[in-house]
Structure 1
Amino acid sequence: MKIKFGEGEVYLREHCPLRLSEARGMVVRCTRGVLWMTVTGEAGDIVLAAGESHRIRVAGRVVIESLGNDARVRFEPSTGERIARAASAMLGSMRRRIAGMHSAAKQLTA
């Protein structure tokens, strides 16, 4: 399953773990219930209650499971990733504008 980070919540049922890869830099936010999480390469396990969050610092595998009852989790890009995405979008927009100006200049000189 492919999860689009930052778009809604994921419902986790007890005893139904969620495994993630390539989640480095993401913020895992517990919005309901209690979550248990382990990240390969990070020391110790993480337990998050509703309202708490944890930023994944390494590129290891992530396993998240609900403790006790069903839980909800939200995945958000870190601030650095949001800035990088915004900068990339702005750069793409500038490139398109320059290409349009270049095309218009060619038509004027033809």
Structure 2
Amino acid sequence: MFGDVMGMMGKIKETQQKIEETKQRLDTVLIDEQSNDGLLKVTLTANRTIKNVSVDDSLLEDKEQLEDYLVLVLNKAIEKATAVSEAELSAVAKDGMPNIPGLDMFS
């Protein structure tokens, strides 16, 4: 019994380390998104850190349009980045969790 608990604790610690490594790796995964017409482009990491914003000169003439573009494109990029991040972290957590009866929150 005690050995089982120690084994589970070791597995949990190993999983925590893998999660941290995955979070660091997600800093290198880039998500590109752009407006439908390509006038605004953004790049962010899977950890949702903005790396680049490219704005076509034509958008600089209309502040309100630029703001709308930024909101739409950034939200789409954040959704994609969140999906990638959650999928990666979920896979690591599910793979690394010990099989504890009644504790199937990652299933």
Greater RCO between the two (CA within 8 Å, min separation 6)? 1
More strand by share: 1
- TM-score higher than 0.5 here? no
